Amino acid sequence: MLLFTPGPTPVPESVRQAMATPTLHHRTPEFEAIFKEARERLLELFGMDECVMLASSGTGAMQSCVLNLCQTKALTINAGKFGERFGKIVTAMGKELVELKYEWNTPASLDDVKKALEENHDIDAFFIQVSESAGGLRHPVEEIAAYVKLVNPEIMVVADGITAVGVEKIDISNIDALVAGSQKALMLPPGLAMIGLSNAAVEKIGSGVDYYFNLATEIKKQQQNTTAWTAPTTLIIGLNAIFDEIDKEGLDVLYSKTIARAKATQTALEALGLNIYPSTPAKSMSTVIDEDSEAIRKLLKTKYAVNMAGGQDHLKGKIFRINQMGLIPVNESVWVVNAIEMALADLGRRSFDGTASKTFNEVYFKEN
């Protein structure tokens, strides 16, 4: 079965092998050397001043950013499950919330952000997804972040890049915290969250808040190549192995191949007469809106050995999402669009003539 869900993503064989080594104690020079290497490579990936690794799923990193970077009032963008989650965390942590809500195919608008900031001078942190995974949507994060910083450089800009870091180059000029997670673009098992931080964020964190998720405690320890609490040693060993895999061709090649794959997939799906759901699609996944989504997904799973994701909440049964994150062999991506064309033929929607794979190959191999 090909795993083509936008998280979790498949873990490369070499990385699984690296993680199968005997357990290391985390308070040893051996592990500190491994941690140091992972930390340096992570800092390079984020392109930011500081970073921390946390033993949690991505949501833990989101929560630690809310706790440590927002003191009074948060502005959040809710255009899907993960943007909604930021709002829920803000409320659960007892802070005031201003939420801008959008349909899941619609990116946040700069004008709405402008208005919210004009009406709420006490907003001290802004939270947004780079790629909102609920609908496969790309927000204009860089543009909005630049505006927020122009209005008030004190406002902390927190970007959830869990389905964007490792997918595309993100301009971090106006971002204070950028969140990544192990099981999406970084092709690891779940359980490791990472945050890139600006110097301004480190300053704002000060002595930190909370206990487990106190970022000041973690920064202090991680600068000494250790962690405050027991480190997820296996996942950190895996992270170095992932960087080794990425470095075989380089990060820029991974970015360009991901973009080419996403473009080839989208063009092939459109050639089949299918409709792309978001108005500004992310590179991390391709999302189709279709009344037969469940039937298509079921056929792919049972007949063509492909596991794609469906939709949640009001989009349950209405969309399907194809992963583009990670080091995906191109023949697998061609098989996915081909399988969708065969499923459409099974459903009597169109006759099979090889349009999908032909279109994919024409677009992809023109790019690479």
Ligand X SMILES: *Cc1c(COP(=O)(O)O)cnc(C)c1O
Instruction: List the one residue from 105, 133, 258, 333 that touches ligand X (CB under 6 A).
Output: 133
Residue with tokens 């191109």: 330
Closest CA to 284 of 82, 64, 32, 122: 82
Q: How far is the CB of 355 from ligand X (least distance, A)?
A: 31
Q: How far is the CB of 61 from ligand X (least distance, A)?
A: 8
**In terms of CB distance, is 105 or 163 closer to ligand X?**
163
Closest CA to 309 of 284, 334, 274: 284
**In terms of CB distance, is 190 or 345 closer to ligand X?**
190
Residue with tokens 């390079």: 44
Report how far residue 207's alpha carbon sits from residue 217's, in angstroms, rounded to the nearest whole number.
8
Give me 247's structure tokens.
Answer: 């470095």
DSSP label at residue 93 = T
Q: Which stretch binds ligand X (CB under 6 A): 19-27, 113-121, 155-163, 194-202?
A: 155-163
- Provide the terminal-to-terminal Cα distance of the chain, rounded to the nearest Å: 27
Helix axis angle for 141-151 and 110-119, nearest 10°, is: 30
**In terms of CB distance, is 285 or 339 closer to ligand X?**
285
Q: How far is the CB of 336 from ligand X (least distance, A)?
A: 20
**In terms of CB distance, is 58 or 356 closer to ligand X?**
58
Report how far residue 85's alpha carbon sits from residue 278's, in angstroms, rounded to the nearest whole number.
20
Angstrom CA distances, 196 to 38, 105, 200, 224, stand at 13, 27, 12, 17
Give me 249's structure tokens.
Answer: 């061709």
Report how far residue 339's alpha carbon sits from residue 357's, in angstroms, rounded to the nearest whole number.
9
Is residue 7 part of the contact set for ligand X (CB under 6 A)?
yes
Ligand-binding site membership of 41 (annotated): no
**In terms of CB distance, is 236 or 339 closer to ligand X?**
236
Report how far residue 245's alpha carbon sits from residue 141's, in angstroms, rounded to the nearest whole number.
28
Closest CA to 83 of 127, 113, 114, 141: 127
Report how far residue 239's alpha carbon sits from residue 233's, in angstroms, rounded to the nearest whole number.
10
**In terms of CB distance, is 7 or 12 closer to ligand X?**
7
Site residue total, ligand X (CB under 6 A) = 12
Q: Is there a contact between 32 and 225 (Cβ–Cβ < 8 Å)?
A: yes
**In terms of CB distance, is 82 or 243 closer to ligand X?**
82
| SS3 state at 203 | helix
Instruction: List the one residue from 129, 227, 286, 357 that touches ligand X (CB under 6 A).
Output: 129
Cα 197 versus chain centre, distance: 16
**In terms of CB distance, is 120 or 312 closer to ligand X?**
312
The site string for ligand X over 295-334 (x = CB under 6 A, - otherwise) reads ----------------------------------------
Ranges within 48-87 binding ligand X (CB under 6 A): 57-59, 82
**What are φ and ψ of residue 91, in 5° steps?**
-65, -45
Q: How far is the CB of 189 from ligand X (least distance, A)?
A: 11
Ranges within 156-185 binding ligand X (CB under 6 A): 160, 162-163, 181, 184
Instruction: Give me the residues that bind ligand X (CB under 6 A), please.
Output: 7, 57-59, 82, 129, 133, 160, 162-163, 181, 184
Q: Which residues are annotated as a binding site for substrate?
A: 321
Q: Which residues are annotated as a binding site?
A: 321
